[in-house]
């Protein structure tokens, strides 16, 4: 749980300073992250051609997202700024607090995964195993790269919304461990519709929840 402890450093700092205004701002910030923005985004005209949509998404191997990450855990609820840059299976995943201080920096390449948090460096050949060792969360990172884009695999179960976009994804991979991904917002970026709000839940771990709000997609 070392990463979760690091993330709560923001709250500890605010309590230490005794700044009531900052505490209130942080509470409102977290509420906004968890609930998401109420503004209605433009919707597709008619129904999206799903095979064409998925073909374009599968070609997206170099991309960057920035936004917010909210985590609900039995011990506490936490939030952070998120920046995730990928190039095929290589990526850098960074979390920072609202002061801009880096809390977690995780990099993955063919040489393995490296995670830096709280002044310490941790390594493992597998990004998924490293994440599990640090947080106790069993998430297949390679699959997560597809989930972020709203791309189901051939054996996955999924549902579509009224626009023909994936609204629920139930992965079937062996290491997916019961995770379910729900998509609540899409926005068109270039010629493809991309998720801007998604929630990860797991019936096997009902006390765990991850919300990702994507403010910006950059496709290279």
pLDDT tens-place string over residues 170-194:
998 877 878 999 999 999 999 999 9
Residue 1: the pLDDT is 54
Q: Name, in order, each residue with C-beta under 8 angstroms of 73's C-beta and a sequence gap of 6 or more.
A: 4, 207, 208
Percentage of the chain with pLDDT > 90? 55
Q: Which domain holds residue 115?
A: 2-38+48-219
Residue 200 covered by a domain: yes
What's the Cα-to-Cα distance from 67 to each of 58, 151, 162, 178, 218, rounded to whole Å? 22, 20, 26, 25, 12
CATH of the domain at 62: 2.50.20.10
Count of beta carbons in the 10 Å neighbourhood of residue 180: 15
Confidence of residue 204 (pLDDT cuts 50, 70, 90): confident
Whole-angstrom distance, CA of residue 131 vs CA of residue 118: 15
Does pLDDT of 200 surpass 90?
Answer: yes
Does pLDDT of 14 surpass 80?
Answer: no
Residue with more model confidence, 26 or 86: 86
What's the Cα-to-Cα distance from 116 to each of 10, 70, 122, 140, rounded to whole Å? 17, 19, 6, 19
Residue with more model confidence, 67 or 207: 67
How high does pLDDT run on average in the chain? 83
What's the Cα-to-Cα distance from 134 to each of 35, 93, 216, rounded to whole Å? 27, 14, 28
Q: Name, in order, each residue with C-beta under 8 angstroms of 213's C-beta and a sequence gap of 6 or more.
A: 33, 36, 37, 67, 68, 69, 70, 196, 197
Residue 165: the pLDDT is 96
Does pLDDT of 54 surpass 90?
Answer: yes
Residue 8 covered by a domain: yes
User: Between the ranges 29-33, 171-175, 200-204, where is the mean pLDDT highest?
Assistant: 200-204
> Looking at residues 94-117, what average pLDDT do you find?
93
| pLDDT tens sequence across 125-174 | 999 999 888 877 778 888 899 999 999 988 999 999 999 999 999 998 87
Residue 43 covered by a domain: no
Does pLDDT of 15 surpass 70?
Answer: no
Q: Roughly what angle, to the nearest 10 degrees, separates helices 9-17 and 20-35?
A: 150
Residue 142: the pLDDT is 84
Residue 18: the pLDDT is 42
Does pLDDT of 3 surpass 60?
Answer: no
Helix (H), strand (E), coil (C) string for 71-115: EECCCCEEEEEEEEEEECCEEEEEEECCCCCEEEEEEEECCEEEE
The least confident of 40-54, 102-116, 121-135, 184-198 is 40-54
Whole-prediction pTM value? Answer: 0.79
| Residue-by-residue DSSP string for 155-194 | T-EEEE-TTS-EEEEE--STT-TT-EEEEEEEEEETTEEE
Count how many domains the chain has. 1
Q: Roughly what angle, to the nearest 10 degrees, separates helices 141-149 and 127-135?
A: 100
Residue 184 covered by a domain: yes
Question: In Å, how far from its chain's centre is CA 48?
Answer: 24
**Contact between 105 and 121 (Cβ < 8 Å):** no
């Amino acid at each position: 749980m070392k990463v979760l402890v690091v993330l709560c450093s923001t709250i500890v700092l605010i309590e230490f300073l005794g700044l009531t205004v900052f505490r209130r701002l942080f509470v409102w910030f977290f509420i906004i992250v968890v609930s998401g923005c109420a503004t209605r985004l433009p919707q597709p005209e008619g129904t999206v051609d799903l095979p064409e949509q998925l073909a374009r998404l599968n070609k997206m191997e170099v991309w960057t997202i920035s936004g917010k990450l909210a985590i609900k855990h039995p011990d506490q609820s936490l939030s952070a700024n998120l920046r995730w840059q990928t190039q095929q299976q290589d990526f850098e995943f960074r979390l920072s607090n609202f002061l801009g201080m880096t809390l977690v920096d995780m990099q993955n390449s063919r040489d393995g995964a490296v995670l830096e948090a709280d002044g310490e460096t941790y390594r493992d050949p597998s990004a998924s195993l490293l994440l599990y060792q640090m947080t106790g969360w069993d998430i297949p990172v390679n699959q997560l790269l597809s989930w972020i884009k709203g791309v189901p695999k051939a054996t996955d179960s999924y549902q579509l919304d009224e626009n023909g976009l994936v609204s629920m994804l139930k992965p079937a991979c062996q290491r997916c461990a019961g995770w379910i991904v729900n998509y609540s917002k899409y926005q068109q970026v270039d010629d493809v519709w991309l998720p801007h709000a998604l929630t990860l839940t797991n019936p096997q771990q009902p006390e765990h929840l991850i919300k990702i709000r994507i403010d910006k997609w950059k496709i290279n």
